[in-house]
Structure 1
């Protein structure tokens, strides 16, 4: 099933001068989940309702990486939009989305790097609007650059997350434990917006993806009766 991130990936591949080769790409990968075929995740893709929407601004080759978790967000949250980020060009559809009156946009970024008057820690909606969470899908150094060099985001409130838990993501780790992968950030945003079911499903889906991906990498068996797989069974 095609979604915003898979379409962006196809567009980015079409522009590539040379093929993108991910680490460990000798074995064929499923085009639907980017995991080695024998550990395919597609049967575990959940369906859940959410009032929130996601807008992913993705740095250069981020859509091409099989470890990218923005793909998981698009799998779970129906209203997910994805755009490639460029310092000099802005997709014309992005300002249209941000100015759509049905949405209340929040740019998600650590408040310690932002003027205090822009920072909020709660999701408050007015006039029946729905939350639109803008996530910078990149490494931490890339995300800081994106935040500084995207003036069309300067008028938006900055949602600063202050989670107590340590990141569980094991595929690509930051040097700081308070840096989260994109899917973890999305799940925390959903929880703040009281999209509790969607938050729990995305968390479980991230865990299932991680177990399948690492299982394929290390040739480990998959326990389809563990807590995360069991959680998803009600949403298949």
Structure 2
């Protein structure tokens, strides 16, 4: 956030005070609902310049739910040494999450190695590297980050359409960052985290739209009930 070059002003959005924790106006704050679920897998967010400032960014939701979440700003001409340290940490097996058609076939995988009771050597913990930005920004990060070129590319196979409603990419097969993280957690065997991420996104979307439309919050809405069930 400190390195972001300019403030973000949402086109057509409401220019009101926002909660620093959830980016929603204080009257519709959802910080008290913030869940945290123990996971085996971790997430590393590589974020485009002003993505952290956008109130509709869902990378923040991942950081709320997944304890081991790292976040770094992306720069074309340099790389944060701390990012390289995370990627090189021997406890992690990094997977760069991106559509397989943009990578060399030998780099593409569709599954994550999970612990096997019959195997003495436990696999490294999965670290999902997510490119957090618009589709154009994500493609630029993918092609212009040589330090990611050696990582296996995890190509997801979604079994449902995107549910995110706060941005429109113009394509029906683009998922928001939080939805991608939920699918990754599912592959890693962290089912509760996957369900919680999906439910938390629903609650965030509900609060955001209710605030935008100047409507009150129903704490017993379908989204709230789903989150309570996921966290139970």
Q: Report if TM-score (shorter chain) is over 0.5.
A: yes
2-structure distance, mates of 1:19, 1:163 = 34
Contact 2:182/2:195 (CA < 8 Å) preserved in 1?
yes
1-structure distance, mates of 2:57, 2:156 = 21
Q: What do the CA deviations read for 1:89-143 (whole angstroms, capped 9, x no partner)?
A: 1000111111111001000000111111100000014733110000000111111
Q: CA deviation at 1:49?
A: 1.0
- Choose from 29, 37, 40 the match for 2:29: 40
Q: Tell me the residue number matched to 1:6.
A: none
Q: Tell me the residue number matched to 2:228.
A: 233
Q: Any idea what SS the aligned residue of 2:130 has? A: strand
TM-score computed with the length of structure 1 as normaliser: 0.90
Q: CA deviation at 1:25?
A: 4.4
Pairs within 5 Å for 1:39-118: 39-118=28-107
Pairs within 5 Å for 1:194-233: 194-233=189-228
| Structure 1 stretches of at least 4 aligned residues deviating more than 6 Å after TM superposition | none
For structure 2, list consecutive stretches of 5 or more residues without a partner in the other structure. Answer: 115-120
Contact 2:45/2:70 (CA < 8 Å) preserved in 1?
yes
Q: 1:181 and 2:179 equivalent?
A: no
Q: Any idea what SS the aligned residue of 1:101 has? A: coil
Q: 1:12 and 2:3 equivalent?
A: yes
Number of matched pairs: 224
Q: 1:127 and 2:122 equivalent?
A: yes
Pair 233,91 (structure 1): closer, same or farther in 2 beyond 3 Å: same
1-structure distance, mates of 2:198, 2:3 = 27
For structure 1, list consecutive stretches of 5 or more residues without a partner in the other structure. Answer: 1-8
